[in-house]
Amino acid sequence: MTILGIDPGTTKIGFGVIKNERNSFEALDYGIISTPGKNKCFDYKMISEKLSFIINTYKPERAGVEKLFFSNNQKTAMSVAEARGVIILTLANHNVPIVEFAPHQVKQAVSAYGSAGKAQVERMVRIILKIKDPIRPDDAADALAIAICATSNTIY
């Protein structure tokens, strides 16, 4: 099964594509979708186009998307929520089933500790996916963790 993990953001959206066959994991691709951040409409169009390219390239059977957590900065929270809406609509337009996770669920799934730090999560992702080099940026490591989490969860 091919799974796409997405870590929503405003100008950097992490993505990770993995393959899971008989509980053997392999990273197919990972990185970030970046936007200039100067024009929301242009940025959202760019997010959708780049995400569509990834979907058309790897044809994921499922996508995991991190839920928005509460933020003290309402402006940032709104921007992330808007980008998340674009992501979910793009996935829906490509008929990719979606599962959503809170950050602590993702951490629990990959590290067995719901309050794990970014370094712990990245290290466990590297172990699970047999990646030797550090995964950069953190958004890509988070997206791979979300994809791993999505391998064993029910679609909503």
Binding site as annotated, residues for Mg(2+): 7, 66, 139
Exposure on the CB side of residue 72, measured as CA atoms within 13 A: 0
Residues contacting residue 11 through CB under 8 Å, at least 6 positions apart:
34, 35, 36, 37, 43
Query: C-alpha angle with apex 52: 47 to 54, nearest 5 degrees?
Result: 100
On whether the CB atoms of residues 92 and 98 are closer than 8 A, the answer is yes
Q: Catalytic: 139?
A: yes
- Choosing from 43, 66, 122, 142, which is the catalytic residue? 66
- Choosing from 43, 122, 139, 142, which is the catalytic residue? 139
- Choosing from 7, 43, 122, 142, which is the catalytic residue? 7
Q: Catalytic: 7?
A: yes
Question: Which sequence positions are flagged as catalytic?
Answer: 7, 66, 139
